[in-house]
Amino acid sequence: MSKFPFGKPSFPFVTLDVFTTTPFAGNQLAIVVIPPDQHDTLTTAQMQAVTREFNFSETVFLFQRASHAATDVPEWRIRIFFPKHELAFAGHPTIGTAVYALGTLMQGANKGRLLCPAGPIELEYFPSEQRARASIPHNFHRHTEADFTREQVYALQPKLKDAGVEFKDVNVLSSVKGMNIVAVELADREALAQVYISGIPARPKLDSDWDVGFGAAYYYVFIDRGGTGRPTVIRTRMMEGTLEDPATGSAACALSCFLALEMRQGGQTEFQITQGVEMERQSEINVRVTLGDGGKGNIEKVELGGCAVQVTEGKIRL
């Protein structure tokens, strides 16, 4: 920890654009680094205040270890905050933190681990591409106790009803408990382009044992339904009240899990998801879902992948 005037503690931070290799595209992320001797310095309330100051969709607090033995897989405890509350897991913070921790702090280490409230996350890093792949905590769930109707979708997007846009499928999904989306399949990219920030939040009725956490509307269209040796290619947009998110890894994982179970194309299904185009912050998200029993069983593994590029660095004073 360094000192600003008046004895105020400060902590180093970096910002990255995630799911891109192009600065000022992708999804913004702030990472605040907490040195080993200062792990108890920041309170939860202070972390929440710092998150609001950055005003990105998420901010990560990365707790450094004093050292990593040469034989150890390097690991870091992290906490992830949305401007309004803490999250057990989120996708783009995981990928951005993996790229920074393994690429910068560990100077290109190939493997690592993040410890978040949802569970441990095993990491792989590909230095030449600035790309990370994370085996994420997953507890996929499709909510079935109450339908989310087409009229409810139109209530979120009134202009779509006026334009006569139809919905092909609507499902309420969770990648883990607390991370919930209304997944709305549209017919084509022209329909997707008509989605807009309505300011109306998605409030689906969740199954009784899952009625917690964040909710948003996630609109998607198929570009290529994939097949042998080809990924399924999808375009998406994410709306949460007054905000549009340029890249949403947890939503991409939830949708990919749902589709992998529906499609049953084999033991492993690859998804390439593009988001943020309409915001001019194009993001490229890769998800790989592994099903047991050669594709006939349940979800065994979910891997989230993508690139990140550092944009700024500095220190933040409490």
Full set of structural domains in the chain with CATH: 2-136+308-317 (3.10.310.10), 141-306 (3.10.310.10)
- Which pLDDT score is estimated for 238? 97
Choosing from 53, 58, 122, 151, the catalytic residue is 58
- Which pLDDT score is estimated for 7? 62
- Which pLDDT score is estimated for 102? 97
Give the angle subtended at the CA of 264 by the CAs of 260 and 268, to the nearest 5°. Answer: 65
- Which pLDDT score is estimated for 118? 85
Stretch 85-99: mean pLDDT, rounded?
A: 94
Taking a C-beta distance cutoff of 8 angstroms, is the pair 255, 216 a contact?
no
**Residue 122 banded pLDDT, cuts 50, 70, 90:** very high
Half-sphere exposure for 234 (CA within 13 Å, toward CB) = 25
Taking a C-beta distance cutoff of 8 angstroms, is the pair 181, 173 a contact?
yes
- Which pLDDT score is estimated for 1? 45
> CA-based diameter of the chain, in Å?
63
Token readout for 195 is: 């989605």
Q: Is the pLDDT of residue 128 over 70?
A: yes
To the nearest whole percent, how much of the chain has pLDDT over 90? 81
Q: Is the pLDDT of residue 127 over 80?
A: yes
Q: What is the pLDDT of residues 261-305, one digit of tens each?
A: 998 877 899 999 999 999 999 999 999 999 998 777 899 999 999
Tell me which residue has tokens 């999904």.
Answer: 173
Task: Round to whole Å and give the CA distance between 309 and 270.
Answer: 23
SS3 content of the chain, % helix, strand, coil (to 5): 25, 40, 35
Q: What is the pLDDT of residues 2-57, one digit of tens each?
A: 444 556 789 999 999 999 999 999 999 999 999 999 999 999 999 999 999 999 99
Mean pLDDT taken over the chain: 93
- Which pLDDT score is estimated for 2? 47
Task: Round to whole Å and give the CA distance between 94 and 31.
Answer: 11
Task: Round to whole Å and give the CA distance between 176 and 204.
Answer: 16
To the nearest whole percent, how much of the chain has pLDDT over 70? 97
280 is catalytic: no
C-beta neighbour count of 146 within 10 angstroms: 11
Q: What is the pLDDT of residues 172-225, one digit of tens each?
A: 999 988 889 999 999 999 999 999 999 999 999 999 999 988 889 999 999 999
Task: Round to whole Å and give the CA distance between 17 and 25.
Answer: 6
**Residue 105 banded pLDDT, cuts 50, 70, 90:** very high
pTM, to two decimals? 0.92
Q: Is the pLDDT of residue 66 over 80?
A: no
Token readout for 198 is: 């309505």
Stretch 145-162: mean pLDDT, rounded?
A: 94
Show Cβ contacts of residue 32 under 8 Å, excluding neighbours closer than 6 positions: 11, 12, 13, 47, 50, 59, 60, 61, 62, 316
Torsion sign over Cα 38, 41, 45, 49: negative
